[in-house]
Amino acid sequence: MLSLLACLALPPALEVLEQRLTITELRTAKTYQETLYDAEFAITEHNLRITGRLRIGEAIRERGYPDFPRHDVLLFCNLEFARRLLQREPRGIHHCPARLSLREEDGAVVVSAPLFPESAEDPETRRITARFNDTLRAILYYAAEH
Protein backbone atom coordinates (compact mmCIF):
# COMPACT_ATOMS: atom_id res chain seq x y z
CA MET A 1 0.00 0.00 0.00
CA LEU A 2 2.81 2.40 0.81
CA SER A 3 4.37 1.97 -2.64
CA LEU A 4 1.05 2.87 -4.30
CA LEU A 5 0.86 6.07 -2.25
CA ALA A 6 4.44 6.91 -3.14
CA CYS A 7 3.55 6.58 -6.84
CA LEU A 8 0.62 8.97 -6.42
CA ALA A 9 2.71 11.66 -4.77
CA LEU A 10 3.78 14.48 -7.04
CA PRO A 11 7.45 14.84 -7.84
CA PRO A 12 8.94 17.93 -6.16
CA ALA A 13 9.24 19.80 -9.48
CA LEU A 14 5.52 19.58 -10.21
CA GLU A 15 3.11 22.15 -8.89
CA VAL A 16 -0.64 21.74 -8.91
CA LEU A 17 -2.45 24.91 -9.83
CA GLU A 18 -6.18 25.09 -9.51
CA GLN A 19 -8.08 27.89 -11.09
CA ARG A 20 -11.80 28.44 -11.23
CA LEU A 21 -13.19 28.64 -14.76
CA THR A 22 -15.84 31.29 -15.31
CA ILE A 23 -18.05 30.71 -18.34
CA THR A 24 -20.46 33.24 -19.79
CA GLU A 25 -23.36 31.54 -21.55
CA LEU A 26 -26.35 32.89 -23.48
CA ARG A 27 -29.32 31.17 -25.09
CA THR A 28 -30.86 32.43 -28.30
CA ALA A 29 -33.85 31.60 -30.46
CA LYS A 30 -31.81 32.38 -33.59
CA THR A 31 -30.92 29.50 -35.88
CA TYR A 32 -27.65 27.70 -35.36
CA GLN A 33 -26.27 28.96 -38.66
CA GLU A 34 -27.25 32.59 -37.91
CA THR A 35 -25.64 32.40 -34.48
CA LEU A 36 -22.47 30.87 -35.91
CA TYR A 37 -22.27 33.48 -38.66
CA ASP A 38 -22.81 36.34 -36.20
CA ALA A 39 -20.18 34.90 -33.82
CA GLU A 40 -17.63 34.66 -36.64
CA PHE A 41 -18.46 38.20 -37.75
CA ALA A 42 -18.15 39.62 -34.22
CA ILE A 43 -14.82 37.87 -33.69
CA THR A 44 -13.31 39.39 -36.83
CA GLU A 45 -14.84 42.81 -36.12
CA HIS A 46 -12.90 42.87 -32.83
CA ASN A 47 -9.62 42.41 -34.71
CA LEU A 48 -9.34 38.76 -33.70
CA ARG A 49 -8.28 35.99 -36.04
CA ILE A 50 -10.16 32.71 -36.13
CA THR A 51 -7.46 30.05 -35.95
CA GLY A 52 -9.63 26.96 -35.95
CA ARG A 53 -13.08 25.47 -35.82
CA LEU A 54 -13.83 22.17 -34.13
CA ARG A 55 -16.97 20.48 -35.44
CA ILE A 56 -17.41 18.06 -32.58
CA GLY A 57 -21.12 17.36 -33.10
CA GLU A 58 -20.58 16.70 -36.80
CA ALA A 59 -17.75 14.26 -36.06
CA ILE A 60 -19.95 12.37 -33.59
CA ARG A 61 -22.80 12.21 -36.14
CA GLU A 62 -20.37 10.83 -38.73
CA ARG A 63 -19.45 8.05 -36.30
CA GLY A 64 -22.98 6.66 -36.37
CA TYR A 65 -25.05 8.95 -34.14
CA PRO A 66 -27.14 10.81 -36.73
CA ASP A 67 -29.37 12.58 -34.19
CA PHE A 68 -26.53 14.02 -32.13
CA PRO A 69 -26.98 17.81 -31.80
CA ARG A 70 -24.52 20.29 -33.27
CA HIS A 71 -21.58 21.36 -31.13
CA ASP A 72 -18.87 23.64 -32.51
CA VAL A 73 -15.91 25.40 -30.96
CA LEU A 74 -14.34 28.48 -32.54
CA LEU A 75 -10.72 29.17 -31.62
CA PHE A 76 -9.45 32.73 -32.03
CA CYS A 77 -6.58 34.94 -31.05
CA ASN A 78 -5.07 38.39 -31.13
CA LEU A 79 -1.28 38.12 -31.06
CA GLU A 80 -0.81 41.54 -29.46
CA PHE A 81 -3.14 40.60 -26.58
CA ALA A 82 -1.33 37.25 -26.23
CA ARG A 83 2.07 38.96 -26.19
CA ARG A 84 1.04 41.47 -23.52
CA LEU A 85 -0.57 38.80 -21.36
CA LEU A 86 2.22 36.25 -21.66
CA GLN A 87 4.96 38.78 -20.96
CA ARG A 88 3.31 39.51 -17.63
CA GLU A 89 1.84 36.07 -16.87
CA PRO A 90 3.41 33.10 -18.70
CA ARG A 91 0.78 30.74 -17.26
CA GLY A 92 -1.77 32.62 -19.34
CA ILE A 93 -0.85 30.29 -22.20
CA HIS A 94 -3.27 27.79 -20.66
CA HIS A 95 -6.10 30.04 -21.78
CA CYS A 96 -4.86 30.65 -25.33
CA PRO A 97 -6.32 30.70 -27.85
CA ALA A 98 -9.63 32.14 -26.75
CA ARG A 99 -12.63 29.98 -27.58
CA LEU A 100 -16.32 30.26 -28.07
CA SER A 101 -18.66 27.30 -28.23
CA LEU A 102 -22.07 26.82 -29.77
CA ARG A 103 -24.45 23.95 -29.14
CA GLU A 104 -28.02 22.94 -29.79
CA GLU A 105 -29.92 22.29 -26.59
CA ASP A 106 -33.65 21.91 -25.92
CA GLY A 107 -34.69 23.67 -29.14
CA ALA A 108 -32.39 26.63 -28.62
CA VAL A 109 -28.84 27.57 -29.49
CA VAL A 110 -26.44 28.15 -26.62
CA VAL A 111 -23.33 30.25 -27.18
CA SER A 112 -20.69 30.42 -24.46
CA ALA A 113 -17.08 31.29 -23.73
CA PRO A 114 -14.73 30.80 -20.81
CA LEU A 115 -13.43 34.10 -19.53
CA PHE A 116 -9.80 34.83 -18.75
CA PRO A 117 -9.03 34.85 -15.02
CA GLU A 118 -8.98 38.34 -13.52
CA SER A 119 -7.34 37.30 -10.27
CA ALA A 120 -3.67 37.99 -11.02
CA GLU A 121 -1.69 39.83 -8.37
CA ASP A 122 -0.35 42.25 -10.97
CA PRO A 123 -2.85 45.10 -11.58
CA GLU A 124 -1.83 45.50 -15.24
CA THR A 125 -2.48 41.79 -15.90
CA ARG A 126 -5.91 42.15 -14.30
CA ARG A 127 -6.58 45.18 -16.53
CA ILE A 128 -5.49 43.31 -19.66
CA THR A 129 -7.66 40.28 -18.93
CA ALA A 130 -10.66 42.35 -17.81
CA ARG A 131 -10.53 44.30 -21.07
CA PHE A 132 -10.33 41.11 -23.13
CA ASN A 133 -13.21 39.61 -21.14
CA ASP A 134 -15.29 42.66 -22.07
CA THR A 135 -14.50 41.86 -25.70
CA LEU A 136 -15.52 38.23 -25.22
CA ARG A 137 -18.83 39.29 -23.67
CA ALA A 138 -19.47 41.71 -26.54
CA ILE A 139 -18.87 38.90 -29.04
CA LEU A 140 -21.26 36.59 -27.17
CA TYR A 141 -23.98 39.24 -26.96
CA TYR A 142 -23.64 40.03 -30.65
CA ALA A 143 -23.83 36.34 -31.58
CA ALA A 144 -26.89 35.75 -29.42
CA GLU A 145 -28.80 39.01 -29.73
CA HIS A 146 -27.97 40.55 -33.12
| CATH number of the domain to which 140 belongs | 3.30.310.70
Residue 146 pLDDT more than 90? no
| Domain annotation covers residue 1 | no
Number of domains the chain is built from:
1
Q: Identify the pLDDT of residue 13.
A: 63
| Domain annotation covers residue 30 | yes
92-121: per-residue pLDDT in tens? 898 899 999 999 999 999 999 999 989 888
15-30: average pLDDT: 82
| Domain annotation covers residue 99 | yes
State the CB neighbour count (10 A cutoff) for residue 57.
18
Q: Residue 81's domain spans which residues?
A: 22-145
Measured at the CA of 142, the angle between CA 139 and CA 146, to 5 degrees, comes to 165
Q: Identify the pLDDT of residue 65.
A: 97
State the CB neighbour count (10 A cutoff) for residue 28.
19
The whole-chain average pLDDT of the chain stands at 90
